[in-house]
Chain A
């Protein structure tokens, strides 16, 4: 099918963009990379009357090293993040997650801000934001608002962004030295939506775990922080026994729905399996023996 008619606005600056969105909200939608919104428009599942297209806002595409954190413009393409040496070195989890997003031609257009603001429950970046304890910066004509990732996601395709707000920047704290990270997911075919995925970010002091953050995608209405699984690792370190406990805890603390691709029970099981695989990968990368 083809999209319903709409008016297309193409601002070239953030102030211009927030002004346009403010004037046309709530019927307007923000268009980022278009890899989720355009399919929904093609199928007429979305019929915005106005699109505020951010693709000509050059100021929103950057990856900046700000010392203890990375600041990433919302319109930075996934392909740019994938190829960024700075991201690979300073935040390996973000690099790892990006490689799991769809296929290369989708990552050419898809943006980090678009993926996060779209808040698809199966998407990689929302769970990654939880695991990284990222801060999401929104702008509107009313000013700037900084939102913790834990306060940002609000159910299926839903966030706490106001209708006149645009997500403009993603602030990612750099994990300290001695950290290990991994993003793993499983799907029916490579590049498909994840049936379940887990982002793991762990800090070590030698072989001792000093901090652990785990978050899952595909197994709930939004990204899920796996706090019970985290506790199993925090209390016991990365041991075979702790991995088994963490996997059981993860399966128990998610609440997935079943669909044509996988039943709820299978997704619940996969949450545990992915948790274990992510932890094993972190241990391998950090040189920690289980």
Chain B
């Protein structure tokens, strides 16, 4: 019943292996096994979006997937956004637009925004609001988030096709 298995995933470009029994959620695997605690666990039923990560190029809730299902998958988490200590363009915009306060939801908000912007060639203002409604924030009132994501979308889409 509690057979524990090896699970290997490529997280932020690095192959990582951990152990998981079937019921271990991917979110808990990332946090407790791989010690990547940037991914946060909020509601555990897919509503809040705090645990959102990019799995094989598409944003998904890591609380609604078992770790063993991710064996062999490519995963991008918040830890992979900054490079060499330099914040990602989206993170800088979040800072400039005060798009976070307590920061608990921010990892999921950022990964949601990355998928939203990079999976499309263009986005309307409505599409940005609708898309970002996938991630709940209890501090900011969303204006800063929408402004930051809008600026980022303009940077990416204004300079040609999305690169992600």
Query: Which residues in A have some Cβ–Cβ distance to B below 8 Å?
Result: 1-8, 10, 34-35, 38-39, 41-43, 49, 51, 53, 55, 79, 102-106, 108-109, 189-191
Contact = CB atoms under 8 A, between A and B. Distances in A.
Contact of A5 (B21, B61, B65, B130): B21
16 contacts: A5-B2, A5-B21, A5-B22, A5-B23, A6-B1, A6-B23, A35-B46, A38-B64, A39-B46, A42-B44, A79-B58, A104-B119, A105-B59, A105-B134, A108-B60, A191-B134
B133 A106 contact: no
A4 B23 contact: yes
A53 B45 contact: no
Contacts of B33: none
Contacts of A102: 46
Residue of A41, A102, A104 with most chain B CB atoms under a 10 A cut-off:
A104
B24 to A, nearest CB: 8
Interface string B45-83: 110010010010011110111101100000000000000
A108 B58 contact: yes
A5 B4 CA distance: 11
Contacts of B63: 38, 42
A41 B61 CA distance: 15
Given A42-B44, A109-B60, A109-B64, A7 B49 contact: no
Contacts of A7: 1, 3, 22
A140 to B, nearest CB: 24
B130 A105 contact: no
B1 A42 contact: no
A104 B68 CA distance: 23
B44 A105 contact: no
B60 A103 contact: no
Nearest to B51: A105
A2 B69 contact: no
A190 B133 contact: yes
B9 interface: no
A124 B131 CA distance: 19
- State the 4 A-B residue pairs at the shortest beta-carbon distance, nearest first: A103-B134, A39-B45, A8-B22, A105-B59
B60 A105 contact: yes
A105 B68 contact: no
A212 B7 CA distance: 51
Nearest to B70: A55
A1 B130 CA distance: 29
Nearest to A53: B69
Nearest to A43: B45
A4 B28 CA distance: 15
Contacts of A2: 23, 25, 28, 44
A105 B1 contact: no
